[in-house]
Structure 1
């Protein structure tokens, strides 16, 4: 992206983080993030996968499907910020107030958003050895977090010549991971040959209807709502005024009043 776009993203993110930290301070909420994998060095795909499984174990999710990537990470102290942007931006990450912050493009489809969130988490958690392609390792990490290899093999088999789109879409609906990412996993695990993986991409590029079917989003869209929820909590508790809530949410006072709906 051009420097102007980068600066606009930085401005948007800084503004959102400041408001996020402010509402937590108003409510007396102290967020903590306790995951630290600094004692593990990733030297290749195997270590990246092991780190993903360690994360799943630490978050007590076993091999189950992750219903909401956003809710899961926000529950352990990660700040998720969504911004409106064009397709040139997927996501980025950093720290603020000692807490990890992941920024994603609100306009992405659900599957891409989920993969991006865990990719960026990989950047925050993963320590790679010199010369290791961290971008690639973060992709491997994200893919493994979304669907562990053992579960994938159990569902699709150890070795396949052909795989039906129906099978992959069933996994897409359950695990919230794209058909493309599942095919990458099948190739990485040698379930299919490199030749078969290449022919898949050739077919996809040659047949528009097949490409459309493969890239169709089937997983429910997820958005972050924790910040908004905290603002309305503060408003309902009369800790902040309607005007303050409106300023934090970038809405009119009337919109906030109409949305509050006290029980």
Structure 2
């Protein structure tokens, strides 16, 4: 499959929007599952975009920026996984492995910006001391535009300009290497989800994890919708149970206060 110039420009514009969102962490549309879906929509292959975005989202589920540290970039991972799967016809699991260099490239670019943008902080401090809000706005807008345009340029060069080189590379890869990348791509979502569980999983939620694993593994289901419905039902049960427990604790505390006051 070929990516046309119009599609390349559309992907670049999408990357600019996603880059701003990732920089500001405003709407969280930069998550790979959304990025892959939108990329597939632009390329006219929504199914590939959904699959690639879902797999990449699981792989990046536990990778979150903390302070000045940056994980591999989720925007480039989502876009390039879908682009590589679309242009080369490879399995999305293999495409994840091939997309990682682009994701890591953007990671280092963002880290470079974090360091170099510190040069503007002196001017921003002086503007804050003098109450010059317009100067502060200009600095923030300028730096955000630099980041956004960089996203657009990198995606346009990677997705449109380099598509023939990517095809040549994929076609030249030996079978054992392609198979290895496919296995690695299949493992990455499990690793990402495991990292997420390591941070978020609590002992009292383990039964829900076991229920979900049993349903997904041992019961034949045509799609994931029934599992999602069951998960939503369990989440609602846990939500209302927690509210009821909290209300009981508040009532018990208030009765205890009244009794103490009577004494």
Instruction: Please report the TM-score for the alignment, with normalisation by the length of structure 2.
Output: 0.26
Higher RCO (C-alpha 8 Å, min separation 6): 2
Higher Rg of the two aligned structures: 2
Q: Pick the structure with more helix per residue.
A: 2
Instruction: Please report the TM-score for the alignment, with normalisation by the length of structure 1.
Output: 0.26
Q: Pick the structure with more strand per residue.
A: 1
